[in-house]
Structure 1
Amino acid sequence: MQFIAGDIGGTNGHVALVRAANDGSGAIETLAYRVYSCAAFGSLAALLQAFIDAEVGTPVSHCVLACAGQVMGDEVVNDNLAWPIRPDALRATLGLTEVALLNDFEALAYAIEGPLAASGRHLCGPAARGPGPSLVVGPGTGLGAAAYVPGVPHAAIFTTEAGQMDFAPHSLREREVLAWLAPDGGYVPVEHIVSGPGLLTVYEALCALDGEAPVLATPKAVTLAAEAQADRHAVEAVELFCAALGSFTGNLAMTTMPTGGVFLAGGFLSSIFDLLRRSAFEERFLHGRSVRALLAQVPVWVTEHGCHGVQGAARWYTRHRAPSGATTLAGAAA
């Protein structure tokens, strides 16, 4: 059976027409694949309809969508999505029999069983995976994470909202940035620092702290200026971002000891791989004292997000597919 699989983030929507391989391997065959800018569409239904019109030649009645955020009741709860996502409305608008939803990083964790684990560039730690759990972490429009725990007959996948954890500054400069973000104190989620928009926020904060007006207006402009060493605040912003990402990822690693590897996912990190490799990421990831020896056994790779979320969503669907006509709403996984 052919079905639609999508990975819907705050910036881009990755959509594919897929089917499970007939050889019992669990592999997913991709028949068509496109990436859309979410801002170009007034609704998710419009985005999916554009894909159906362009790529789907025969009627398809089943769809699975990996979405940034968590499924609660009949909607996805997330501040970074371009529009509300409600499966009932999608079924009615697109004439679908079934719409299944799961968290986007849950889908990426399922993709570890596919090509994701072999597609990354090694950043630090051992060069080979161990037998333990794995983590997928990714800063994009927001900041997501999920854990993959090997098991028989299937691995267990655990979603998180780790990006909503409180930001914990490490350096004096990070404390100054935090104070600029919350001058009266209060809650500042780590994704306000460790994400694409967070990088721009850090850049603006550093300019303000030094009494200068920011001249760069997008995260991409900040990373390009940092790579060219063309703006000192851009350079410092990327360095602070990478260091904070190291601390955050190390904190998550201490909860699961992922000797199976940490996969830093997303085109954003891939685009700054050289800056990340030269940064304080590894030092901050390792933390200190006795835990340093433990975290040194954890390999870390950077991998393109690409179609991995779509592949993972399709793998999840073939394992959890509900009876025809039902709507599957996925929370923390099994």
Structure 2
Amino acid sequence: MNAATDYPGRQANTPTTSFLAADVGGTHARVALMRVSPDPGRGVEVLAYRKFVCADFPGLAELLQAFIDGDAQVPVRHCVLACAGQVMGDEVLNDNLAWPIHPPQLRQALALDDVAVLNDFEALGYAFDTSIARNGRRLCGPAIHADGPALVIGPGTGLGAAVRLPGPAGDVVLTTEVGQMDFAPHSIRERELLAYLAPDGGYVPYEHIVSGPGLLTAYAALCVLHGETPRLATPEAVTAAAAACSDARAVEAVEVFCAALGSFAGSLAMAFMAVGGVYLAGGFLYSMFTLLERSAFEERFLHGRSARALLSRVPVWVTEHGRHGVLGAARWYLRRGAAAGAIPRHAGSIP
């Protein structure tokens, strides 16, 4: 099934009035009340916005109801969800979500006419453009980029990525599950880490190293390999200790994380010829930008030999996640409606 999915019972037309757009990850959910602007030049307006901790709610229906009761204060009949994972049948499949998500049940519980679903990084792909870079920080590569495919990559609770392909009729965004690809060690230490995580061999996905929980896993494993007892319990504690150089294993874990992220991003940039740039998204990375700058990220991103000439021309930016997910979901939702002739063409454009 395609990542972007509609569910039975919805009205035929995408709304031209207010609707919900939610960006649901493993740790946080960002929810906005959106409205198509009456001004053709403005595209869509954010009427209300709030960020929630997923663990504070027993399910997504309760979380969205809290937003509707406290922030929307108007009848809402339409919703678009950008979710970590992929839609299979009537369920969004992802091991990192706080609870199961069944869009048909959600539609019924909230009395919605329409619940549309797409992958969260697919939504980011529709939001990210060259203007986003101006609000981010350049990690490596040139300050300008060529026209061509662009990547958005985000280590958070999991590891997600999407590729944006420019086209004459508008950009197309391809969702991926590249975080589930086999981790490929580069250094001797990474080989030892892989052997520890899979002593009998077998599958270890990239997100088991390159994510927030992956950083904590690497830290704990490195402590064991050095005969030490782990004393840090969160990814934030590991990055803080690494920044302060107060824990040698935290420093080593961050070095492994950043280097592995560089290899991962460089491999994807080669696969998709991402001359349009690579955007590393999320508050987790943004908060550790200085650690990334002084790490082996760039050297591992550039790979070697002939690939280096290509990858040295690819700018890499680090930017906060912020509202980009809900804006991208709204952009996709309204573009879909415009393509069907249900709403004015201008409504698919978000400034």
The answer to whether the superposition gives a TM-score over 0.5 is yes
Per the TM alignment, residue 260 of structure 1 is displaced from its structure 2 partner at its CA by 1.0
- 2:267 maps to 251
Match of 2:159 among 143, 152, 170: 143
Within 2, Cα distance between the matches of 1:133 and 1:21? 30
| Corresponding residue number in structure 2 for 1:331 | none
Q: Which residue of 2 aligns with 1:57?
A: 73
CA RMSD of aligned residues (A): 1.5
Runs of 5+ in structure 1 lacking a partner?
Answer: 324-334
1:26·1:315 contact (CA, 8 Å) conserved in 2? no
Q: 2:119 aligned with 1:103, yes or no? A: yes
Relative to structure 1, the CA distance from residue 24 to residue 151 in structure 2 (aligned partners, 3 Å threshold; closer, same or farther) is farther
Q: CA deviation at 1:20?
A: 2.5
Map of 2:333 onto structure 1: 317
Q: Retained in 1: the 8 A contact 2:145–2:313? A: no
User: Aligned in 2, Cα 1:255/1:15: closer, same or farther, shift over 3 Å?
Assistant: same
The reply to whether residue 227 of structure 1 matches residue 243 of structure 2 is: yes
| Aligned equivalent of 1:292, options 303, 308, 312 | 308
2:143 to 127, 144, 161: 127
The correspondence of residues 189-228 of structure 1 with structure 2, limited to 5 A, is: 189-228=205-244
Deviations 1:16-36 (A, max 9, x none): 001233333463311100000
Count of aligned pairs: 324
User: What amino acid does structure 2 have at the position aligned with 1:58?
Assistant: V
**Is 2:82 the counterpart of 1:66?**
yes
**Aligned position for 1:6:** 22
Please report the TM-score for the alignment, with normalisation by the length of structure 2.
0.90
TM-score (norm 1): 0.94
Unmatched 5+ stretches in structure 2: 1-16, 341-351
Contact kept, 8 Å, 2:149 with 2:273, in 1: the verdict is yes
Q: Which amino acid aligns with 2:329?
A: A
- Kept after mapping to 1: 8 A contact 2:162/2:174: yes
Kept in 2, the 8 Å contact 1:143–1:195? The answer is: yes
**Is 1:22 equivalent to 2:38 in the alignment?**
yes
Encode CA deviations 1:24-62: one digit per residue, 9 max, x unaligned.
346331110000000000000000000000111210100
Shift of 1:114: 8.3
Distance 2:182 2:327 in 1: 31
Instruction: Pick the aligned partner of 1:152 from 147, 168, 173.
Output: 168
Contact 1:115 1:308 in 2 (8 A): no
Letter in 1 for 2:239: T
The one-letter code sitting in structure 2 at the alignment partner of 1:62 is H
The answer to whether the 8 A contact 1:120-1:304 is kept is yes
Q: Structure 1 72/114 Cα, relative in aligned 2: closer, same or farther at 3 Å?
A: farther
